[in-house]
Amino acid sequence: MNLILVEHPTRGLDIESQIWIWKKLKDRCKDGTSIIFTSSDLEEILHYSDRILVFFGGKVSQPLKAANTSVEQLGQLIGGKGF
């Protein structure tokens, strides 16, 4: 199993560079690599994730399916609601 860990992979980049980074990461996923990333951009998290985990107060949320999660729901979990 291959794994890539990235923190804020597109912060500070122009749109073209962001698209390039995500294309490369998605290509790696198609090849069987798992990607774990952190970001403060909630829309980026929802757009590029399959599953989401939120850490708060030493606890981990249940895995969320990104396709079924809203920015508001994610924000509430980040704020500690629902733990």
User: What is each CA distance from 32 to 1, 8, 79, in whole angstroms?
Assistant: 7, 22, 33
Q: Does the pLDDT value for residue 1 go beyond 90?
A: no
Pick from 52, 82, 83: nearest CA to 67:
52
Q: What residues does each domain of the chain span? A: 1-38, 42-83
Report how far Cα 38 is from the mean position of its chain's Cα atoms: 6
> Is residue 53 within 8 Å of residue 59, measured between CB atoms?
no
Say what the pLDDT of residue 83 is.
Answer: 78
What tens digit of pLDDT does each residue of 9-59 get? 999 999 999 999 999 999 999 999 999 999 999 999 999 999 999 999 999
Local confidence band at 74 (pLDDT 50, 70, 90 cut-offs): very high
pTM confidence score: 0.82
